[in-house]
Structure 1
């Protein structure tokens, strides 16, 4: 396993990409090492306007907030066993609520009365709908949603972290030049002998789109952890390539796909079973861990991730 910062490795069974580094500005060294970076964006026309970015940021936060009200206080349950899959009659209420959640409800900011019976808001959360009634709608609603989400352990008590995460995802989805350069650079790190590609959060989305652009000359096991594709419908609808008939594209480069989602992650518990969006074949699993924004370690320490990595390396 190796992390990629700088030159593309010549070999390696597992490649881990530093997404923050991929978003960073190009250095002269990078321009030489990643000569193909940016080619896909040569014909791209501009970037979304500020209003469009703010609208998407608000929609993402609203979807996460709706997911958060279904998760509850984000505290782990006493029963640490894995939650049953979608075919089980014992599938948890939280999973059923997330799976059946439609895009209309994802886009709305819930009121106090919209919390499902028996569930609670994140501790200390405010009502973003009420907060948004004064002043310009967009900025106030974004700040209120971010502050409400920040009351949860997932966003580590920060009133600004959720908004920062939503804006980063919004930027990736709307800034075509950045998006295609990041994708090109990721593709360059996936070699013919790579066996496993691991992506976390936005990194899972970047890895997915990079794999879509590769042919079946590459054959990898893809391990998506808390993937952005499990989030609001606005993310799924903006995938490249775009879904057809509400069905996501299955990359030819993927031989097996393991999708692992933490039950405490509101950004991925909207559609934690990716089989619903990409069709049969994905091995979905919701796990009982206390995750937090940007923290990969809880996933890497869980048995589900270990099994996926081992299977990908052996298979």
Structure 2
């Protein structure tokens, strides 16, 4: 499809991720003739910046997708569950950022650097993975291709922006309150987040893992396309505004030295290696903010097992963890001529 005809809609355009999606479309000069901003009725009529001007937000309805080629959703799971099927029925390809469709067998779960081939079998809805999963699998895939990963143990240190604008505001407010000798009142999180670490992201499940942790387990297997990979996760919320950090331990079938892993990752797409401990060079959330790359460092041997490595993985959760990955998927749909929906009845 030519640039002169391509129409793109951003659903949830007034939210933090929605605005970042518009910003990313602009920065990457996405080849759209027209971009439409959609949101709930209460946001209709407001304006959002795009490409040196402003877009007037339109109300999201079941009829919003007529004539739209790609819809990038970032409006929550219930909204996606309700409206994505209407988009697919209209022949519009959905790239959805919520968790609603990730484990649905009808939907590819895609990270462009890892499994772009899965776009070939889409039925109109493509799922964007969880932010913490995305950055991890970007780092895992080239190592898996080289040495076959058997097991992953990951601990995440996740920024409050993963919860949304209200959490960003709460952290800022609590810091101010504490410096003014006031007792902060938690509203978004169950406990104070300022100067604290909460080993609790999303709801607890019957197995005592959180939903966030199990997302990483199941999504990693689906994206990597290998059910033999075993994953265990601990997800922690920390008082950082932007940027998720992860301590990742892997066990491989074939021996990989840290130097070999470093060389492989240096050549891998979407990765920047920052790994010189003697010079205090390693990835940090504060430097990843606003950047597209996934940063990897602290690559070292796990001396407790025969074929083990430890590494530290950092990325901007709003960029690569959400907006950028979704836009990259949309770009790849165009590049591979995969626009349009072959069977518009799949999600009916």
Larger relative strand fraction: 2
Larger Rg: 2
* Superposition TM-score, scaled by structure 1 size: 0.25
* Superposition TM-score, scaled by structure 2 size: 0.23
Larger relative helix fraction: 1
